Amino acid sequence: MAIQQARVFLPFNLLIAIIAVSTASLFIRFAQAEGAPSLVIAAVRLTIATLTLGPIAFLRHRVELGNLTHRDLILGIFSGSFLAIHFATWISSLEYTSVASSVVFVSTGPLWVAILSPLLLNERLTGVAIVGLGLALFGGTVIGLSDTCVWNNGLQCPELSQIMQGRAMWGNFLALCGALAVSGYLIIGRKLRAKMSLIPYIFLVYGISAIVLNIFMFASKQTPFGYSPTAYGWIFLLAVIPQLIGHSTFNWLLKYLSATLVAVTTLSEPIGSAVLAYIFLKETPRPATVVGGVFILIGIYLTSKQGK
């Protein structure tokens, strides 16, 4: 019954999640403009989310938290650590490589989920879902390369040798680590959400992620203090809308939908970001973003035909 209800509300739930996570790039940009470093933004974001969930988790779900097995706690620690590593490596990759290359590599996350899910979750893809996955990945690649590829008597893109060398190579490796980490986060989430309700799960995972990110932040000799009230305001919105609403909705869906479908759906974030940037920042999306977005939406639709 619950699965049927989830499928009935699937379009609405996915739309809410996509819109919510799509605001992240705008809020991060505004916070960075106020002088807040990216790693600080990530650490404070997860800390605020965890502290917000704390009272609800302890007052309403204390029994469930107390009944968690040792295995559940270990899986939760791994899931939260993977989420922290995803944020830390992907953000750090932008210091070494182009946004385009970083997006292309980090967008391979659904591919790793699709490869690992049959082995770890016994979730096998249908032929239609495989086609959908391929189209969504292609769309993500098109959007990623749109920053560096230009049309000058034909499409001209950077050579592979430029992408795979020096600092760029390290940045691309970090982005790939980010993709692998988010894959682990989603796969473990799919397993844990089968037996845990939403609030205890996200409180555990976000809490572990906040701890790990704070360790990364202090190890990098950065501090969460001393920024403007405006910067903290944007980070607070980042914690509430993309994290507590967006990520939490994706985590809710993990109980009813395959990890691969949820992972593919996350590729639509650049589409939502482009729409919001057009509305609030008057930034007209590139034609490549529109084309890539069409492929992603078609890919999500085909992958969703697999259902659970």
DSSP letter for each residue of 106-136: HTTHHHHHHHHHHHHT--PPPHHHHHHHHHH
Distances (CA, A) of 236 to 30, 41, 183, 240, 270: 12, 10, 26, 6, 21
Low-confidence ranges of the chain (pLDDT < 50): 1
Distances (CA, A) of 219 to 78, 199, 214: 20, 30, 8
Contact 31, 236 (CB under 8 A): no
Question: Residue 1: its pLDDT value, please?
Answer: 47
| Domain locations along the chain | 2-304
Instruction: Please give the Cα distance from 246 to 304 (Å, whole number).
Output: 19
Question: Residue 168: its pLDDT value, please?
Answer: 65
Contact 159, 85 (CB under 8 A): no
Burial of 296 (0-12, 13-18, 19+ CB in 10 A): buried
DSSP letter for each residue of 40-88: HHHHHHHHHHHHHHHHHHHHHSHHHHHT--HHHHHHHHHHHHHHHHHHH
Instruction: Please give the Cα distance from 99 to 175 (Å, whole number).
Output: 10
Distances (CA, A) of 65 to 54, 90, 104, 198, 208: 12, 31, 38, 11, 14
Instruction: Please give the Cα distance from 267 to 263 (Å, whole number).
Output: 7
**Helix 70-93 vs helix 198-219: angle between axes, to the nearest 10 degrees?**
50
- Note the pLDDT tens digit of each residue in 167-199: 667 777 888 888 889 889 989 998 898 889 999
Contact 118, 271 (CB under 8 A): no
Question: Residue 120: its pLDDT value, please?
Answer: 77
Long-range CB contacts (< 8 A, 24+ apart) of 89-92?
A: 89/174, 89/175, 89/177, 89/178, 89/181, 90/174, 90/175, 90/178, 91/38, 91/39, 91/42, 92/38, 92/39, 92/171, 92/174
3-class SS of residue 8:
helix
Distances (CA, A) of 182 to 78, 216, 254: 11, 17, 13
Question: Residue 13: its pLDDT value, please?
Answer: 81
Radius of gyration over alpha carbons of the chain, in Å? 19
Contact 246, 45 (CB under 8 A): no
Distances (CA, A) of 163 to 155, 177, 216: 17, 16, 27
Question: Residue 103: its pLDDT value, please?
Answer: 65
3-class SS of residue 155:
strand
